[in-house]
Amino acid sequence: MRYCAVVAYDGSAYQGFQRLAQGLPSIQESLERALTAVIGVPTVVIGAARTDSAVHASGQVIAFDADWQGAEVALLRALNAHLPADIAIRRLSIAPDRFHPRFDAHSRIYRYQVYDAVPRHPLYDQRTWLIRHSLDLDLMQQAAAVLIGTHDFAAFGAPTQGESTERIVYRSEWLTEVLTDAIDGLAGRLLSYWIEASGFLQHMVRVLVGGLIAVGIGKLTVDAFIAIFHSADRSRSRFIAPPYALTLMAVTYPAVPGIPDAVRAAVPMSA
């Protein structure tokens, strides 16, 4: 029987989602180890997105086949009991036999967080990229909006499979939250870049964010960013954001019969 599950993880200690031949720690290998312990036979996990080293997830979707005689909630609890503290199954259900979390997906949603402040804050160190500049959010929004639609994104990454670098971007925008300190008032801004697309090239979100931040601090003009984008030349994208502030928030699926509610429930209604 095929099962699907929504997985959350802190990617700090892992070399990405995908299992690595060198035996380096990966999210997939940890999930498969837990499944083997619970099910009693080696079990392969299929993931919806191959998150990079140190990248996190709140809504990664996986599928696996298992001969489990108990209730779904019992399988969820058993797996979580065998998983390390930085990985957790959030939802689990039976899926159609042919359900594939990657190929059946409509889109993936990522969020990248930036802490815009002069002094650093220890509580934001592990989940945000600290930028000690006054970022021009209006220019960053202008550059981000250019990405929406069907385009060749070769300037921002390499294909993970095949040769096509064309992707459809449905959403690309910055949201901002003003942070205040109880002692002396203003403490900075928390900027969140949200991007939803049909798929992503390797390192694509981090390279995009690096370029958008370069626009925000004046190292690139909006026109220069657009020129790099249209060049389809990866060597022209010189900026890349660190991985630890990036989170896979959700994977979306078509609203058609057969796609489990446990998967669709992982999609955030709003940012």
Over residues 114-145, the pLDDT tens digits come to 998 877 777 777 889 999 888 999 999 999 99
Number of separate domains in the chain: 2
CATH number where 236 lies: 3.30.70.660
For residues 135 and 181, membership in a common domain is answered with yes
Q: What is the Cα–Cα distance from 24 to 44, expressed in whole angstroms? A: 17
**Are both 115 and 244 inside the same structural domain?**
yes
Asked if the structure places residue 257 within a domain, the reply is yes
pLDDT under 70 in the chain at which residues?
181-187, 255-271
Q: Which pLDDT score is estimated for 258?
A: 61
Q: Report the pLDDT value the prediction gives residue 123, as an integer from 0 to 100.
A: 74
Q: Which of 166, 248, 165, 268 is nearest to 206 (CA)?
A: 248
List the beta bridge partners of residue 65. Answer: 2
pLDDT of residue 268: 46
What pLDDT score was predicted for residue 119? 74
**Amino acid, res. 192:** S
Pick from 129, 267, 261: nearest CA to 193: 129
Instruction: Note whether 149 and 89 are same-domain residues.
Output: no
**Whole-number pLDDT of residue 116:** 85
Whole-number Cα distances in Å, 14 to 8, 63, 84, 227, 228: 13, 20, 12, 35, 32
Pick the catalytic residue from 52, 116, 136, 138: 52
The pLDDT assigned to 43 comes to: 95
Same domain, 118 and 210: yes
Let me know whether 63 and 126 are in one domain: no
Do 260 and 203 lie in one domain? The reply is no
- Length of the chain in terms of residues written: 271
Number of separate helices (H) and strands (E) present in the chain = 6, 10
Residue 143: closest CA among 216, 89, 231: 216
Domain limits for position 7: 2-104+253-264
Q: Are residues 204 and 171 in the same domain?
A: yes
Q: How far is CA 69 from CA 66, 72, 74, 75, 89, in A?
A: 9, 9, 10, 9, 19
H/E element, 247: strand 246-252
Contact call for residues 129 and 212 (beta carbons, < 8 A): no
pLDDT for 270 equals 38
Q: What is the pTM of this model?
A: 0.92
Q: In the prediction, which pLDDT does 23 show?
A: 77
Closest CA to 115 of 57, 171, 193: 193
Q: Is 195 helix (H, G, I), strand (E, B) or coil?
A: strand
Whether 152 is catalytic is no
